[in-house]
């Protein structure tokens, strides 16, 4: 029998045929500790990734990954118009990392009902608008048709704004625009959306771009900005730099991170919190394994002496007990992974744990399973725990002679 097979056979006997009074409860406690630690770590990672993606998708759904506008120090809703046919458009369309361009313009105004007055921002869109990305936010009604020759009077407003104004689907809405001369427009509510993001829900109203062009005094070729959707969000910083260079000094390109820095900085804090949690949990799991390891070794001291008396070296003895520890650790990890995946599945499909959307922007805890990250956590736990056992195991077995071990009571 090879050394590895012999070590494995002895390890199985120690683990499964142990009659000691202390080791068996310690084994179960160690397995439970490792499993609980992995459940906490994996669920925390899934929630963090899911929450970041949910917030990102909401912001991108109402806008895009990158926005191009005329360079100006004024950050108000009064945009400086420019024509669609810019010299850089062919370069943007030819870039395989850019999947779609859409054009829009904005106009600030006021809506008034019998009991309420609210400020709004009309976001004028045309046939280039990415309805597929926006559609998940639509909770009622339909997307209006912008392909007709006649200007559409239909609008889509947020559920929050509709409640403030005490309006519902199909109601008429009168909007006023402070300019010289003052103007007004009558709209019909065709749909209601909800993102949970106050930056949008409190003011943004989707309408036909031609309304905005007429209110701003633009011609039919002028727009206020261009929004770009890219293939991979992880490249948004690099693509933002490339687009900003491509459009020239008279225009500016801003990524979604630059447009909403406070939100993304807040979300980024989650990574730091999760990293601290991972480190603490891994250390706790490693200490638990170390305690269990010493309990087992002490319970089996006489057996260590017997093995040494039969000619087994210290290295072979250490291998035996490291196999015992690895089996305990892997069993606890398997249990932890299984329970964590079940919890993530239930939360993803049934949204059991709810949140206050007024604070967290979403009404439930979103989860996202990242296979590579889950594997990295498992490898880190296994490596850290086994690494903490190697040195004490060698130090203990080398100092213990066969005679002293056999005399152990």
* pLDDT digits 0-9 by tens, 235-274: 999 999 999 999 999 999 999 999 999 989 988 888 888 9
pLDDT digits over 324-380, tens only? 888 889 999 999 999 999 999 999 999 999 998 888 888 899 999 999 999 999 999
* Mean pLDDT value across residues 127-150: 90
Answer yes or no: is pLDDT of 88 > 70. Answer: yes
Q: How confident is the model at residue 311 (pLDDT cuts 50, 70, 90)?
A: low
Highest mean pLDDT among 19-23, 27-31, 148-152: 148-152
Q: Are 46 and 368 in contact (CB under 8 A)?
A: yes
* 15 pLDDT more than 80: no
The whole-number pLDDT of residue 67 equals 96
329 within 8 A of 382, measured Cβ to Cβ: yes
> Strand pairing partners for 72?
none
Side-chain-facing half-sphere of 113: CA atoms under 13 Å: 15
Distances (CA, A) of 152 to 60, 67, 257, 387: 25, 25, 33, 68
Report CA-CA distances (Å) from 295 to 23, 79, 135: 6, 72, 59
Residue 403 has a pLDDT of 45
pLDDT digits (tens, 9 = 90+) for 29-58: 888 999 999 999 999 999 999 999 999 999
Query: 52, 194 in Cβ contact below 8 A?
Result: no
Element (DSSP H or E) covering residue 188 = strand 183-193
Whether the CB-CB separation of 362 and 198 falls below 8 Å is answered with no
* pLDDT class of 310 with cuts at 50, 70, 90: low
Q: How many Å apart are CA 393 and CA 385, to the nearest integer?
A: 13
Question: Residue 140: beta bridge partners?
Answer: 192
What does the pLDDT read at residue 167? 93
Q: Which of 272, 353, 348 is nearest to 53 (CA)?
A: 348
User: What's 2's DSSP letter?
Assistant: -
Q: Pick from 289, 281, 312, 278: which is nearest to 385 by CA?
A: 289
Confidence check: pLDDT of 213 > 90? yes
Q: Is the pLDDT of residue 70 over 70?
A: yes
Interatomic CA distance for residues 301 and 11, integer angstroms: 14
SS3 content of the chain, % helix, strand, coil (to 5): 55, 20, 25
The mean pLDDT value for 205-231 works out to 95
Beta bridge partners of 87: none
Note the helical H segments in 300-370. 301-309, 314-350, 357-360
At which residue do the structure tokens 């912008």 appear? 146
- What is the percent of the chain where pLDDT is above 90? 60
CA 186/CA 207 separation, integer angstroms: 11
Q: How much is the pTM? A: 0.85
Here the tokens at position 323 are 């196999």
Q: What local confidence, expressed as pLDDT, does residue 408 receive?
A: 47
Q: How confident is the model at residue 76 (pLDDT cuts 50, 70, 90)?
A: low
- Which of 66-70, 178-182, 289-293, 299-303 is modeled with the greatest confidence? 66-70
The model's confidence at residue 72, banded by pLDDT at 50, 70 and 90, is confident
- pLDDT above 70 for 1: no
Instruction: Look at residue 22 and tell me whether its pLDDT is greater than 50.
Output: no
Is residue 339 packed enough to be buried (19+ CB in 10 Å), middle (13-18) or exposed (0-12)? middle
Query: DSSP of 273-318, one letter per residue?
Result: HHHHHHHHHHHHHHHHHHHHHHHHHHHTHHHHHHHHHTT--HHHHH
The pair phi, psi for residue 380, each rounded to 5°, is: -65, -45
Half-sphere exposure for 177 (CA within 13 Å, toward CB): 20
- What are the residue boundaries of the structural domains of the chain, listed by start? 3-59+264-406, 72-248
pLDDT grade, residue 21 (50/70/90)? very low
8 Å CB contact between 302 and 338: no
pLDDT of residue 315: 76
Strands 66-70 and 251-255: antiparallel
Nearest CA to 249 out of 79, 85, 90, 88 is that of 88
Instruction: Using pLDDT thresholds of 50, 70 and 90, give the confidence band for residue 316.
Output: confident
Provide mean pLDDT across the span 304-332.
78
């Amino acid at each position: 029998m090879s050394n590895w097979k012999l070590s494995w056979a002895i390890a199985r006997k120690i683990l499964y045929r142990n009659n000691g009074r202390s080791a068996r409860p310690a084994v179960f406690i160690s397995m439970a500790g490792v499993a609980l630690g992995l459940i906490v770590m994996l669920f925390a990672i899934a929630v963090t990734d899911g929450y970041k993606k949910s917030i990102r998708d909401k912001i991108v759904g109402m806008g895009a990954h990158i926005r191009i506008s005329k360079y100006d120090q004024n950050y108000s809703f009064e945009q400086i118009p420019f024509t669609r046919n810019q010299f850089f458009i062919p370069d943007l369309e030819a870039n395989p990392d850019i999947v779609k361009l859409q054009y829009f313009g904005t106009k600030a105004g006021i809506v008034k009902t019998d009991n309420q007055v609210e400020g709004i921002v009309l976001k004028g869109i045309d046939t280039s608008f990415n309805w597929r990305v926006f559609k998940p936010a639509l909770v009622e009604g339909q997307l209006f048709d912008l392909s007709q020759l006649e200007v559409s009077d239909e609008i889509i407003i947020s559920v929050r704004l509709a409640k403030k104004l005490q309006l519902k689907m199909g109601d008429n809405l009168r909007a006023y625009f402070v300019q010289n001369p003052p103007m007004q427009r009558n709209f019909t509510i065709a749909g209601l959306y909800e993102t949970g993001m106050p930056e949008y829900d409190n003011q943004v109203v989707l309408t036909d771009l031609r309304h905005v062009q007429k209110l701003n005094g633009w011609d039919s070729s002028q727009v206020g900005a261009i929004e770009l959707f890219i293939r991979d969000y992880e490249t948004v910083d690099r693509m933002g730099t490339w687009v900003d260079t491509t459009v020239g000094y008279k225009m500016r390109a801003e990524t979604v991170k630059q447009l909403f820095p406070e939100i993304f900085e807040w979300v980024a804090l989650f990574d730091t919190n999760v990293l601290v949690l991972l480190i603490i949990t891994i250390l706790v799991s490693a200490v638990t394994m170390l305690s269990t390891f010493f309990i087992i070794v002490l319970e089996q001291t006489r057996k260590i002496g017997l093995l040494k008396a039969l000619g087994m070296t210290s290295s072979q003895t250490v291998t035996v007990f490291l196999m015992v520890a690895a089996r305990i650790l892997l069993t606890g990890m398997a249990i932890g992974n299984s329970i964590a995946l079940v919890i993530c599945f239930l939360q993803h499909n049934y949204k059991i744990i709810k949140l206050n959307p007024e604070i967290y922007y979403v009404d439930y805890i979103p989860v996202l399973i990242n296979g590579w990250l889950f594997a990295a956590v498992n490898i880190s736990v296994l490596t850290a725990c086994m690494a903490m056992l190697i040195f004490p195991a060698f130090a203990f077995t080398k100092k213990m002679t066969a005679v002293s071990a056999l005399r152990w009571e």
